[in-house]
Structure 1
């Protein structure tokens, strides 16, 4: 009887490990999603290292705007921006196109978290709930 229980125990252990590996695969596949999304949707203007472009496009690296305007960042990404803004004491006045149709709330969260933790930025991480609440506040949450 003891011999029969050992294989059952081993099978259960293997099943748990396989399930854990499967779950870890899901997380590791999404681990760099913010960086990939930034590269696809933001880097053409803001630069690969968040450096911006002279006085045309504001930097994200070391940007005081990120901390001073945290409550509006999700809406800025979703709705875009027209008109002047001040970043690190420099005024910028270019149009930032909206991401109304091609980024989900979750993807915006991942982009914001990538920016908050890259290039020396040490901003507080966003939760999906926080981003969705910000987006609901400007009428722009997609619930995803």
Structure 2
């Protein structure tokens, strides 16, 4: 037989655990937006709008949908040379982000895939790591 206050303590403990897990997942869920703000927004714009004809936008960008298999390596290794986004040609150097883990690149790209008019399928961590392997860019994390 359990003491009278046991169930209250058990319920309070379960509630605290739920809050703890919830905030853990919430922070991880927002990681893509945080990574974009830290690593991409200074060039691509805080709303993905780009910079006129100098730097392509990622908001409602056909490139994001059409070059899905290349995007993880572009984030990791950067890009040098011409590309066309929504019918406009760009030719600037984009630095890579070797400091990001595979998981962070996945979360960053999933943020891009599902925001600002982009309605594309999110990546799985396995898919992003496999794609990063094509450019020797996977860190297995």
TM-score (normalised: structure 1): 0.90
Shift of 1:6: 4.6
Q: Which runs of 5+ in 2 are unaligned?
A: none
Deviations 1:57-103 (A, max 9, x none): 11101111111110111011001001111111111110000111x21
- Counterpart for residue 41 of structure 2: 43
Q: Which of 15, 19, 23 is equivalent to 1:25?
A: 23
| 2:122 counterpart of 1:122 | no
Larger strand share, 1 or 2:
2
Shift of 1:19: 1.7
Q: Which runs of 5+ in 1 are unaligned?
A: none
- Higher Cα Rg: structure 1 or 2? 1
Q: 2 CA distance for matches of 1:8 and 1:59?
A: 57
Deviations 1:36-72 (A, max 9, x none): 1111100111011111111111110111111111011
- Counterpart for residue 9 of structure 2: 11
- Counterpart for residue 143 of structure 1: 140
Q: What SS class does the counterpart of residue 79 from structure 2 fall into?
A: coil
Q: 2 CA distance for matches of 1:125 and 1:6?
A: 48
TM-score (normalised: structure 2): 0.92
Q: 1 CA distance for matches of 2:49 and 2:23?
A: 32
Shift of 1:121: 1.2
Q: 1 CA distance for matches of 2:16 and 2:52?
A: 51
Q: 2 CA distance for matches of 1:88 and 1:7?
A: 64
